[in-house]
Amino acid sequence: MSAAGKRAIVTGAGSGIGAALCRALDLAGAHVVCTDIEGTAAEATAAMLGPRARAECLDVTDAKAVQAAVDHVVAREGRLDLMFNNAGIVWGGDTELLTLDQWNAIIDVNLRGVVHGVVAAYPHMLRQGHGHIVNTASMAGLTAAGQVTSYVATKHAVVGLSLALRSEAAAHGIGVLALCPAAVETPILDKGALGGFVGRDYFLRSQGGKPYDADRLARDTLRAIDHNKAILVKPTVAHAQWLFARAAPVLMNRLSMRFVAGQRSRQRSRLRSGPGDAR
């Protein structure tokens, strides 16, 4: 990517995809603000980068804080070129196990967090006549399988938001990209488990058991920005699954039901065997 001198903000930059995006941006010569709700994690990411990077504690569910972070970059740097709305959480397990508080939490972070970033950054980009917004969705925003219902709902919304905004923004010289990876090697694979759900097994089983590398995804993302792509789906097997889902949605739903049934069987087996069984 031709990112030398670009001004960027990355949310959820303390680990995973966010940290990888910061590394790729820094390597490309951008000035990047690494933000995360865990300030120490954001600082750790920025500390590994060059002098153009800085860290900031930011809760994406706080609209005023997101607006202030964006306004500060614009006031200090004169513009904001790249806004990466990346922060996200996941809950995995049968839908009846989810509490209303958990539903609200994932909607607040995964959807409202993106909305807050768009509301804060897009008007600045309109005024300056250029910019790019990257919203981290997921393969779960393009296909659907049970046991990650709340995650699927929020990520579908992010894809829809991104494509709709893209259709408006193009006339103003602004790009919008929906980032839709399948399982990436990040801490989220091991979080948000309810019941016997094991995220690493769930997310990796459909792509041959091997997660995609976060740094590779970050490089893919910068290339996708360069080519003004609407959606980026990685790895290749996920892209093939997405095309299949578009061509045969009813059959894909049947396969999803079979997948969920298999997951439930393995989860019951784990619960019977105890927490030490990682089959």
Within-domain flag for 279? no
CA–CA distance, 199 with 203 (Å, rounded to integer): 6
Give the pLDDT score at 199.
Answer: 87
Domain hosting residue 121, numbered range: 7-273
Within-domain flag for 95? yes
Listed as ranges, residues in the chain with pLDDT below 50 are 1, 276-279
Tokens representing 187 are: 């801490």
Active-site choice (122, 151, 202, 212) = 151
- Is residue 151 among the annotated active site residues? yes
CA–CA distance, 9 with 14 (Å, rounded to integer): 13
Within-domain flag for 170? yes
Give the pLDDT score at 275.
Answer: 52
Give the pLDDT score at 279.
Answer: 35
Within-domain flag for 258? yes
Rounded to whole angstroms, what are the CA distances from 35 to 15, 64, 114, 270?
A: 10, 15, 14, 37
Within-domain flag for 1? no
Give the pLDDT score at 277.
Answer: 44
Within-domain flag for 2? no
Tokens representing 199 are: 């995220």
Q: Tally Cβ neighbours within 10 Å of residue 206.
A: 18
Residue 26 burial by Cβ neighbours in a 10 Å radius (0-12, 13-18, 19+):
buried
Domain at 189, CATH number: 3.40.50.720
Of 175, 159, 169, which Cα lies nearest the Cα of 226? 175
Give the pLDDT score at 205.
Answer: 87
User: Structural domain tally of the chain?
Assistant: 1
Of 26, 188, 23, 10, which Cα lies nearest the Cα of 84? 10
**pTM for the full predicted model:** 0.94
Within-domain flag for 278? no
